[in-house]
């Protein structure tokens, strides 16, 4: 351990030395250019001297850097480039020293070529090193948003991780461990192990502290860890003993993790997302665990304007759902709808997710065309003469979530079909021939279906 610790000690001087070659070499190049600019005849000896200093300091920085890299705290692929470019920089500086010492021997093209080459190397190498230390987003994090976009940075990165979908999020690594890392691991790690507890690695974590394991899977109340973080703060055993106690959300995350089996591998999609943890996930991590509506899951290329205009020319009001969603919200109003017009929608049938034919003269027979719209989630047929016959033909709409039939001629015999629409969540039956009693029965028979018949008042 001792030799490694000593080299690490040396390695940590890297940030100190690394700035010296930047200064020396930059100064050397600027001095040379200044001479050229002022057209001085005598070539200053300072220029090669500065190159020499640059080379020496670069070598020292490289040596420290080599040891710092050995600590294993850096990403291998980034480190590789930075390390070898650094070595190349040392070599280039000494070559430069030689060239500058014998300036009369080579053309100004070679001279300037060396300058430019070295400037480029300095910039790239410096940037790579900065990224290694501070992270890729350090430079652009606070740049104005348009500039961030220009630089291709990820916009809007917060200190807390924001996950776009819950699918890939690991319960322990992404949610629980970061809590331990900020609040516990300072006193429970490989070096310091208060109470004999090391929480830095999963293996050590499972061993537990002086009194054995600190987590009992599935039982937060019996788990020493949970007990300690939820004691009254004045209790001597309360953890952590610093000002930095766990917040409500953090405690809830830890509790949830223990209750769900305290696994180190589980993704959050494979455990039960309880009602109490949902708002925490949403608030703290921006993780929306509620099921997404179908229209947000369909992926299709955007329609071209020609196709859209063609439908508009048939008298439909066509709207894009918004954002980068390609789906359409289509409506017709008026009493002059024809079968041919409805047929025109066939070309965009995958795109229609909301369709309103409310108040039109739509006929029962025409609904078989509507039944072909695979991604239809909302269908409005209210205030039409649609009857049970029409409803027969839409039973294949497997993603339909809302169906408005108020003010139509549908009756109780449609309820069986409505009840079989798999994803249906709301159906509106006010002012139809459906009886209150049967509507109630339908609602009770199908989980998650709300039947609105308007008996209030």
Partner 1 sequence: MSSLGTTLLKLALELELENMCTHHHNKNYTRRDFLTKTTLGMGALSMASMLDPIGLFANEQPLIRTPNDGGGILGKPHFPAKVKRVIYLFQSGAPSQLDLFDYKPLLNKMNGQDLPESVQQGQRLTGMSSGQASLPIAGSIFDFKQHGDSGAWMSDLMPHTSKIVDELCFIKSMYTEAINHDPAVTFLQTGSQLPGRPSIGSWVSYGLGTDNKNLPEFVVLVTKDKYGQPLYSRSWGNGFLPSQHQGVQFRAGKDPVLYLTNPPGVDGKSRREQLDHLQRLEQINHQDVGDPEILARMAQYEMAFRMQTSVPEIMDTSDESDYIYEMYGEDSRKPGTFAANCILARRLAERDVKFIQLYHQGWDQHGNLPNAIKVQCKETDQATAALITDLKRRGMLEDTLVIWGGEFGRTNYSQGQLTPDNFGRDHHPKCFTIFMAGAGIKKGFTFGATDDFGYNVVQNPVHVHDFQATLMHLLGVDHERLTFKFQGRRYRLTDVHGKVVKDILA
Distance CA 45, CA 434 (A): 101
Kindly determine how many residues on this chain lie close enough to bind partner 1 according to the rule CB under 8 A.
Answer: 44
Site map (CB under 8 A) of partner 1, residues 265-294, x = contact: --------------x--xx----x------
Taking CB under 8 A as the criterion, the residue among 27, 217, 369, 402 binding partner 1 is 402
> Does residue number 320 form part of the binding site for partner 1 (CB under 8 A)?
yes
Sole window of 3-11, 124-132, 158-166, 423-431 interacting with partner 1 (rule: CB under 8 A): 423-431
Tokens 């850096």 sit on residue: 74
**Distance between CA 224 and CA 219 in Å, rounded?**
10
Query: Which of helix, strand or coil describes residue 168?
Result: helix
Q: Which two tokens stand for residue 274?
A: 């309880």
The nearer residue to partner 1, 60 or 434, going by C-beta atoms, is 434
| Chosen residue from 430, 435, 441, 449 binding partner 1 by CB under 8 A | 430
Rule CB under 8 A: which of 147-186 touch partner 1?
147, 150-152
Report the residue number, 63 or 327, with the smaller CB distance to partner 1.
327
> Smallest Cα–Cα separation from 272: which of 289, 285, 284?
289
Residue 44 in tokens: 């200053």
What's the rounded Cα separation, in Å, for the pair 309 and 287?
38
Give the nearest distance from C-beta 433 to partner 1 in angstroms: 15
Binding mask of the shown chain, residues 323 to 352, with x at each position contacting partner 1 by CB under 8 A: xxx-xx------------------------
Sole binder of partner 1 in the list 3, 72, 322, 448 (CB under 8 A):
322
Per CB under 8 A, which region of 34-42, 296-304, 336-344, 439-447 contacts partner 1? 296-304
- How many CA atoms within 13 Å lie on the side-chain side of 284? 17
Of 226, 257, 366, 406, the residue at the interface with partner 1 (CB under 8 A) is: 406
Q: Is 166 exposed, middle or buried (0-12, 13-18, 19+ CB in 10 A)?
A: middle
CA gap 89, 95 in Å, rounded: 10
The residue within the footprint of partner 1, chosen from 157, 409, 426, 433 (CB under 8 A), is 426
* Tokens, residue 398: 């497997």
Listed ranges 57-65, 408-416, 422-430, 440-448: which one lies at the site for partner 1 (CB under 8 A): 422-430
Three-class SS of residue 191? coil
Residue carrying structure tokens 């291709």:
152
Distance CA 244, CA 247 (A): 9
Going by C-alpha positions, the residue among 134, 125, 126 that lies closest to residue 75 is 134
Considering only 380, 384, 393, 438, the residue that binds partner 1 (CB under 8 A) is 380
Least spacing, CB of residue 439 vs partner 1, in Å: 12
- Token output for 359: 């108040």
Cβ nearer to partner 1, comparing 188 with 378: 378
Alpha carbon distance 254, 286 (integer Å): 17
What is the bridge-based pairing of β-strands 317-322 and 352-356? unpaired
If one asks whether residue 308 binds partner 1 (CB under 8 A), the answer comes out as: yes
* Residues making contact with partner 1 (CB under 8 A): 146-147, 150-152, 279, 282-283, 288, 295-296, 301-303, 305, 308-309, 312, 317-325, 327-328, 378, 380, 382, 402, 404, 406, 426, 428, 430-431, 452-454, 456-457
């Amino acid at each position: 351990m001792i030799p490694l610790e000593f080299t690490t000690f040396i390695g940590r001087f890297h940030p100190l030395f690394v700035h010296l070659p930047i200064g020396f070499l930059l100064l050397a190049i600027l001095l040379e250019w200044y001479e050229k600019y002022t057209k001085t005849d005598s070539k200053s000896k300072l220029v090669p001297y500065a190159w020499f200093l640059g080379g020496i300091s670069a070598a020292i920085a490289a040596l420290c850097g080599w040891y710092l890299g050995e600590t294993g705290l850096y990403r291998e692929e980034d480190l590789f480039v930075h390390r070898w470019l650094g070595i190349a920089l040392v070599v280039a500086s000494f070559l430069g020293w030689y060239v500058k010492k014998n300036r009369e021997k080579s053309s100004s093209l070679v001279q300037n070529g060396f300058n430019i080459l070295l400037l480029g190397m300095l910039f790239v190498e410096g940037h790579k090193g900065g990224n290694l230390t501070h992270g890729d987003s350090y430079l652009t994090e606070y740049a104005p948003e348009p500039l961030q976009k220009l630089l291709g940075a990820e916009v809007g990165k917060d200190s807390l991780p924001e996950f776009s979908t819950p699918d890939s999020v690991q319960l322990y690594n992404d949610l629980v461990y970061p809590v331990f890392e900020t609040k516990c691991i300072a006193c429970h790690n490989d070096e310091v192990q208060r109470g004999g507890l090391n929480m830095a690695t999963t293996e050590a974590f499972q061993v537990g502290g002086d009194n054995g394991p600190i987590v009992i899977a599935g039982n937060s109340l019996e788990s020493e860890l949970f007990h300690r973080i939820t004691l009254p703060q004045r209790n001597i055993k309360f953890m952590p003993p610093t000002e930095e106690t766990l917040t409500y959300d953090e405690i809830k995350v830890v509790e949830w993790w223990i209750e769900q089996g305290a696994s180190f591998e589980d993704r959050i999609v494979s455990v039960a997302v309880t009602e109490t943890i949902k708002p925490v996930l949403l608030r703290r991590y921006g993780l929306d665990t509620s099921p997404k509506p179908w229209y947000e899951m369909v992926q299709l290329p955007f329609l071209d304007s020609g196709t859209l205009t063609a439908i508009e020319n048939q008298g439909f009001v066509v709207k894009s759902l918004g954002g980068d969603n390609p789906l359409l919200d289509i409506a017709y109003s008026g009493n002059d709808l024809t079968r041919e017009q409805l047929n025109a929608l066939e070309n965009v049938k995958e795109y229609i997710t909301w369709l309103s034919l409310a108040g039109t003269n739509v006929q029962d027979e025409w609904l078989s065309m509507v039944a072909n719209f695979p991604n239809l989630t909302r269908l409005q047929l209210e205030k039409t003469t649609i009857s049970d016959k029409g409803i027969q033909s839409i039973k294949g709409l497997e993603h339909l979530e809302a169906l408005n039939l108020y003010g139509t001629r549908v009756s109780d015999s449609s309820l069986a079909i409505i009840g079989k629409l798999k994803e249906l969540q709301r159906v509106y039956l006010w002012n139809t021939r459906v009886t209150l009693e049967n509507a109630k029965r339908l609602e009770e028979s199908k989980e998650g279906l709300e039947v609105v018949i308007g008996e209030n008042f």
